Amino acid sequence: MRDSARAAVRAIGRAAPAAAAVGLLLAFNAAFTPGFFDLAVADGRLAGSLVDVVNRGAVVALLALGMALVIATGGVDLSVGAVMAIAGATAATLVAQHGASPWAAIAGALAVGAAAGAFNGALVAGAGVQPIVATLVLMVAGRGAAQLLTGGQIVTFNDPVLNFIDGGFVAGVPMPVLIAAGALALGLALTRGTALGLFVEATGDNERAARLAGVRVRAVKAAAYVLCGVAASVAGLLAASDIRAADANNAGLYLELDAILAAVLGGTALRGGRFSLVGAVLGALFIQGLTTTLYLHDVSPNATLAVKAGAVLAVCLAVSERVRAWVGRK
């Protein structure tokens, strides 16, 4: 019994830096941002700064979920931003140019995301290409493919189902919040409800040992990239729905970096092994919360990036074992 308590503490411990960062951010806002915690229900819709943070953080949270899995296998996926663009372009062109039903468009976008993940997985697990190089291929080529789909134009659409993905509410809760929460629940069920999480961690921590123990390490890696691709395509649907258009040039641009940051803040070891999906989502919420807080305090957009970088540096130093040991000695 005490053991399981210890295991729980350990699991939470991995996500602790991200949780602490989110906590600090909330404390700051409690002190200095009037009305930050106010929740209002207008037209049967939940509104307020907190809701806004979760709502806008959903895209990075989705990416971070997939990224945490991939990083845990000892890899990294730089192509998630480009996959967002392809997924958005796929859905938009299917609806706007081919008159497809929105459901077919969604299915198409998800399938494209899975295919992109399978491509990455084949390169990394099958051909043994370095993950950074392998996913760099799609990071660059993927955006080009998205532009081919859209013919270089911004393809707009106005479809009630697609619009609902980002703009809709269910029981007063914004759809992105529900989608991110659903993805987290699904991810937890998939990794902790089955042995997939154990295999992912064993593969990332000591691949040769995992193989000798009978784990299908290639299949595990490929699965992580496929799941990451699917998560990225959902994020792409959210981004496209937000602006009711597919913008192949800008959709998801640089978001792979936010996703990696969120996963690492969330306690996933960059060299592979242990991961935390809850931590990844908390990491994403921290990043978005920081942006929103700066916005609420009228910090100029030019200075925002610098402040963000400073905050991230502080959190990373707090996570660093060497720095902790150094502080501990003082």
Partner 1 sequence: MVDALPLLEARGLVKVYPGVRALDGADFTLRAGEVHALMGENGAGKSTLIKALTGALAPDAGEVRLGGRVIRPRSPVEAQRLGISTVYQEVNLAPNLSLAENLLLGRQPRRLGLIDRRAVRRRAEAIMAGLGVRADVGRPLGSLPIAVQQMAAIGRALDLDARVLVLDEPTSSLDAEETARLFGAVRSLAARGMGVVFITHFIGQVYEVCARVTVMRGGRVVAVRDAGGLPRLELVALMLGVSMEEARAIERAHARAGSSAEVALRARGLRRGRVGPIDLDLRRGGALGLAGLLGSGRTETARMIAGADRHESGRVEIDGRSVPTSPPRRAIAAGVALCPEDRKAEAIVPGLSVRENIALAVQARQGWWRPIGRRAQRNLAERFVRSLRIATPGVEKPAGELSGGNQQKVVLARWLAAEPRVLLLDEPTRGIDVGAKAEIERLVGDLCARGVAVLFISSEVEEVGRVCDRVLVLRDGRAAGELSGEGVTVAAVMRLIAGEGERA
The residues of the shown chain that bind partner 1, judged by CB under 8 A, are 2-4, 6-7, 10, 193-196, 198-199, 201-202, 205-206, 208-216, 220, 269, 273-274
Indicate the residue among 201 and 258 with the shorter CB distance to partner 1.
Answer: 201
Instruction: Tell me the closest approach of the beta carbon of residue 14 to partner 1, in angstroms.
Output: 10
Instruction: Tell me the closest approach of the beta carbon of residue 188 to partner 1, in angstroms.
Output: 13
Indicate the residue among 252 and 273 with the shorter CB distance to partner 1.
Answer: 273
Q: Are 109 and 91 in contact (CB under 8 A)?
A: yes
Indicate the residue among 191 and 288 with the shorter CB distance to partner 1.
Answer: 191
Indicate the residue among 194 and 250 with the shorter CB distance to partner 1.
Answer: 194
In sequence order, which residues have a C-beta less than 8 Å from that of residue 199 and are 6 or more positions away? 210, 215, 216, 220
CA distance 57 to 286: 9
CA distance 234 to 307: 29
Dihedral sign, Cα of residue 147, residue 151, residue 156, residue 159: negative
CA distance 168 to 160: 9
Indicate the residue among 218 and 308 with the shorter CB distance to partner 1.
Answer: 218
CA distance 157 to 228: 26
Angle between helices 255-265 and 2-32 (to 10 degrees): 130
Name the H helices within 155-300: 160-167, 175-192, 196-205, 207-212, 217-243, 255-265, 277-296
Indicate the residue among 92 and 269 with the shorter CB distance to partner 1.
Answer: 269
DSSP string for residues in 298-309: T--HHHHHHHHH
Instruction: Tell me the closest approach of the beta carbon of residue 206 to partner 1, in angstroms.
Output: 5
Indicate the residue among 9 and 170 with the shorter CB distance to partner 1.
Answer: 9
Instruction: Tell me the closest approach of the beta carbon of residue 234 to partner 1, in angstroms.
Output: 22
Instruction: Tell me the closest approach of the beta carbon of residue 86 to partner 1, in angstroms.
Output: 28
Instruction: Tell me the closest approach of the beta carbon of residue 16 to partner 1, in angstroms.
Output: 16
Q: Are 281 and 180 in contact (CB under 8 A)?
A: yes
Angle between helices 80-98 and 217-243 (to 10 degrees): 50
Checking DSSP bridges between strand 45-47 and strand 40-42, what pairing results, if any?
antiparallel
Instruction: Tell me the closest approach of the beta carbon of residue 273 to partner 1, in angstroms.
Output: 4
Burial of 306 (0-12, 13-18, 19+ CB in 10 A): exposed
Task: Write down the residue that tokens 């306690």 correspond to.
Answer: 267
Indicate the residue among 155 and 202 with the shorter CB distance to partner 1.
Answer: 202
Indicate the residue among 172 and 193 with the shorter CB distance to partner 1.
Answer: 193
Task: Write down the residue that tokens 């609420």 correspond to.
Answer: 296
Instruction: Tell me the closest approach of the beta carbon of residue 162 to partner 1, in angstroms.
Output: 33
Instruction: Tell me the closest approach of the beta carbon of residue 5 to partner 1, in angstroms.
Output: 9
